[in-house]
Amino acid sequence: MKAIKKELALLLILSVLLTFGWMPIASADQENPMSSGTTYVLLYIDKPDSFLNGKQVTLDAPATILKDKTFVPAKFLGDAFGMKVEWNEKTRTIEMVTPTNRIIFDSDNKSVWINGYWQKFDDAAAIVNGRLMIKLTWLADYMGAKYTYNNELRRVEVLYVKSMKGLYNPNQGNSKPVAKFTFAKSSYKIGEPVKFVDLSYDPDAEGIAKYEWKGKQETYFTPGTYPITLTVTDAHGNVSEPYSRNIVIEDATYLTEVEYPIYMKPVGSFIKTDWSMLWGNFWELPQLPKQVTEDSSRKLLVSDSPEEFTQKGILYQDDIEGKGRLYADHVNGTKENVTLAILAKNTTNKPVTVKTTNRGEVWPSVYANLIGNEATVDFLMADPMNETLTIPPNQTFVYRQFPDFYPGQGVNLFYDVETDGKVQFSFVASNDVTPQSALSLPLLPFTGHVRGTFPVSQVNWNIDASTFTSPSRIIIGDGQTADPFQPGFDPLRKMAVKNEGNYGVVYKIHADKPRKMAVMILAKGGIFKGPFKINGDIRLVPESGVLTAFDGMQILAKTTGKEDSLDIEFSPPAGSAFPIDLIFYPLDDRGE
């Protein structure tokens, strides 16, 4: 007999475990736990049919009479009233929490603990069909519900009014804040921005200091119903009751996952992606038609080899007569501090004036991307200047001298100059940059980087950005037909060269009557950091750090479709890799 009783007890416990694994039949006012509400329940003795707020529910264990006492289902009523009734696996007990009581049912030991006081299990509860049943009188005694029993109909009528929780705490002399929100509309489409309407407040008018959301997203890309919960905290640290609502996402698309950040993120934003998304949507876009003209009115002297010099000497040297641009990018590879200087030698028998009209320069630094970015920003800003230097016949002056830079540091510089006679410019790295000493230094050997004089220092691209209807691009710095590297000549080696990367060249990209669109940059060659000038405004790419190939894009500009033109100015920054794509993405009125 004892063995049979033990088996029955095990079966009973298993039944209880299964009972508390099922989902609640109903929950009380989940969207507003602060408000009051009425729950109306009809139970029939020994009949599975019951009614919750007018809706029929079938029970596994209906109300019943045991030893002249009426018992009702605890879990069903607890869920209906919004009270906790849960199985605790660790303690092998059932816990019920009502507004005023904490009750522990221990069927193993035939005990019930009510707010810490013991009561015999069989006097208070029973297990029927694996379901916990409680005495009918408990509805009034511990759950705060009113009930009537109709003996003729064998029916229990239960009325429970959930009272509003008080906010004021007299011990603190302060009230808890109230969390509440709603949505601007009843449902949203896939990829449609969700507009939250904050209705939270603090009864003491101290304001809300902190918002904590669970499940909140600015948009959703899968249809369905999603719960969102808000908790707020006031300035005194009082925390509100959680407030929850469900948002419904329709099975209809407003914006795709690719479109959404392009439409919704502001100019300057970085759109993080992955390789598959880039490859599938942006890697081989069609190119926008463009008309190319080259400006050869200003020759370009590029001193970038040896990029890292290991001895003192002359880095590059050539003549300018008229307009010219001086460009240098070098790293101190010696083991001592040196000075970089540009010497200007008048090779004529009359005075020559050198006028500087624009410049971009940066103090020595170990950050290659930084110095390239800073110097290019400085140059593209094109702050008006008119510095002049008059050099007597056959004399050499120091045109520019930089502060000493330490081993491992680099410099980058641009200068636009105009001369009224022939001037030889020499880029020199030395401790002594007096003309007589510096010009006697050796010419340093070519080491594979760009060096030479190039007739073209500006390219003009007129693009058609008014009629395209699908994402398109222009390519910068591929060295192919899209953007060939400029040819030139290195007088020190006496050979034709190419400006691989087109460093020192300014691109002026112009579009008449551009359509509504977003313009983005995609780094394809490697690390990139540099500025663009968009309709006169400098845009840093990126705002901080560097872009790397394949990890995302940055939004450079957005047009409304009402502008007369779009003008983009750019010069390849030192330390960055190429090619890059400028992506032109057509937009419509979505997202407004």
What does 309-361 look like in DSSP terms, one character per residue?
Answer: ESS-EEEEEEEESSEEEEEEEEEE-SSS-BEEEEEEEE-SSS-EEEEEEEEEE
List the one residue out of 58, 53, 101, 102 whose CA is nearest residue 80.
53
How distant is the alpha carbon of residue 403 from its chain centre?
40
Domain range annotation of the chain: 38-161, 174-254, 262-294+458-586, 305-449
Using alpha carbons, select from 23, 20, 28 the residue that is nearest to residue 145: 28
Residue 78: in which H helix or E strand, if any? helix 74-81
**Residue predicted with more confidence, 592 or 153:** 153
101-143: pLDDT as tens digits: 999 999 889 999 999 899 999 889 999 988 899 999 998 999 9
Mean pLDDT of 168-196: 88
Architecture of the 305-449 domain = Sandwich (2.60)
Q: Do 432 and 438 contact (CB within 8 A), yes or no?
A: yes
pLDDT of residue 466 exceeding 80:
yes
Kindly report, residue by residue over 10-48, the tens digit of the pLDDT: 434 434 433 333 333 333 334 444 445 789 999 999 999
Could you write out the DSSP letters of every residue in 31-72?
T-TTS-EEEEEEEETT-SEEEETTEEEE-SS--EEETTEEEE
- The strand pairing partners of 429, in sequence order, are 313, 340
Closest CA to 245 of 33, 24, 23: 33
Q: Give tens-digit pLDDT for 72-86.
A: 999 999 999 889 999
DSSP 365: B
For residue 274, the model assigns a pLDDT of: 87
Tokens of 35: 């408000």
Range 69-106 burial, b when 16+ CB lie within 10 A, else e: ebbbbbbbbbbbbbbebebeeeeebbbbebeeeebbbe
Instruction: Lay out the sheet containing 117-120: strands in order across.
Output: 84-88, 93-97, 102-106, 111-114, 117-120
Compute the average pLDDT of residues 439-459.
Answer: 96
pLDDT higher than threshold 80 for residue 173: no
177 versus 368: the higher-pLDDT residue is 177
Ranges of beta strands (E only) in 456-529 are: 458-463, 472-476, 486-490, 495-499, 506-512, 517-523
- State residue 35's pLDDT score: 45
For 539-564, how does the pLDDT look when each residue is reduced to its tens digit (9 = 90+)? 999 988 899 988 899 999 999 999 99
Contact between 225 and 250 (Cβ < 8 Å)? no
pLDDT (average), residues 313-335: 97
Alpha carbon distance 252, 269 (integer Å): 27
Count Cβ atoms below 10 Å from residue 228 Cβ, excluding itself: 18
Query: Is pLDDT above 50 for 266?
Result: yes
Which class would CATH give 174-254? mainly beta
| Two structure tokens written together for 59 | 């029970």
Residue 5 three-state SS: helix
Owner of token pair 């929850």: 244
- Count Cβ atoms below 10 Å from residue 406 Cβ, excluding itself: 13
Give me the chain's average pLDDT, please.
Answer: 90
DSSP assigned state of 491: T
Q: Which residue reads 């221990």 in tokens? A: 106
Asked if the model's pLDDT at residue 247 lies above 70, the reply is yes
Residue 1 pLDDT exceeds 70 = no
Q: Identify any residues that bridge with 37 across adjacent strands, giving them in sequence order.
A: 162
- Higher-confidence position of 13 and 460: 460
Burial of 37 (0-12, 13-18, 19+ CB in 10 A): middle
* CATH number 3.40.50.261 given to 38-161: no
Q: Is the pLDDT score of 8 beyond 60?
A: no
